[in-house]
Amino acid sequence: MRALFTYGAEVPFARVIADHRRWLVPVGIVLAINIVVLVAVVLPLRRSVESASARAEASGLELREAMADLKEAEATRDGQSQASADLDRFYAEVLPKDFATARRITQLKLQQLARSHDVSFDGGAATPETLRDSSLERLQVNYELSGDWDDIRQLIYAVETGADFIVIDNVQLSEGQQANAPLSLTLDLSTYYRAPPAPRGRGADGR
């Protein structure tokens, strides 16, 4: 008798394809379309996005570097402006404004300080000096004084800490010939002041 069913028999692959052809064809078409979309659209778009991201990162780096350079330039400009303002204020408020003022603070005030500290003012000399390539001039003074050590020390301290711009260039002490003679003090000082404007040159006609 012929069996109606058999178990374990292998079904040919072609038969499986033929039996499910109406489903496999649309699926194959969809897969083919997806592959085409992937190759033609998705991959180029991904590369474009990556390229745009790299360009954006490079632009951001350039922008940060430009901002850093701008801040450095602004800081340099502000520093130069502040230095210029400080220098102008130093010239206007600290330095003597002219030779007469420089002479007054190094002679009159020093004599007053010497008397207030019981130091004798024995004599002195002042020499103005023109500084090359500078808008300032220097006044050098040399004074001979005498007194006790404590009084001389207090005088030197008063000169150093005074409000006037006076530089102590040299201090020389020497003892007197007698045992109780006061000390002799040679004091070299200097100060600076704005040089007067240079006179205008005359024209060819002498006017």
User: Once rounded to an integer, what is the mean pLDDT over residues 198-205?
Assistant: 55
| Model confidence pLDDT, tens digit, residues 138-168 | 999 999 999 999 999 999 999 988 888 888 9
pLDDT top residue among 45 and 76: 76
Tell me: pLDDT of 201 over 90: no
CA atoms of 168 and 171, how far apart (whole Å): 7
Q: What is the pLDDT of residue 145?
A: 93
Tell me: pLDDT of 50 over 70: no
Q: What is the pLDDT of residue 77?
A: 65
Tell me: pLDDT of 137 over 80: yes
CA atoms of 63 and 59, how far apart (whole Å): 6
pLDDT category of residue 18 using cuts at 50, 70 and 90:
low
| Model confidence pLDDT, tens digit, residues 52-72 | 566 667 666 766 676 677 677
pLDDT category of residue 120 using cuts at 50, 70 and 90:
very high
Q: Confirm whether pTM is higher than 0.75.
A: no
DSSP string for 21-72: HHHHHHHHHHHHHHHHHIIIIIHHHHHHHHHHHHHHHHHHHHHHHHHHHHHH
Q: What is the pLDDT of residue 153?
A: 92
Q: What percent of the chain has pLDDT over 90?
A: 19
CA atoms of 1 and 206, how far apart (whole Å): 150
78 burial (CB, 10 Å; 0-12 / 13-18 / 19+) is exposed
CA atoms of 47 and 96, how far apart (whole Å): 73
φ/ψ of 199, rounded to 5, equals -65, 145
CA atoms of 100 and 193, how far apart (whole Å): 10
With H, G, I as helix, E, B as strand and everything else as coil, classify residue 139: strand
pLDDT category of residue 206 using cuts at 50, 70 and 90:
very low
CA atoms of 27 and 79, how far apart (whole Å): 74
| Model confidence pLDDT, tens digit, residues 83-118 | 666 666 777 777 888 899 899 988 888 889 999 999
Tell me: pLDDT of 12 over 60: no
Query: C-alpha 109: how far from its chain's center?
Result: 39
With H, G, I as helix, E, B as strand and everything else as coil, classify residue 115: helix
CA atoms of 185 and 19, how far apart (whole Å): 127
Range scoring the smallest mean pLDDT among 15-24, 39-48, 145-154, 160-169: 15-24
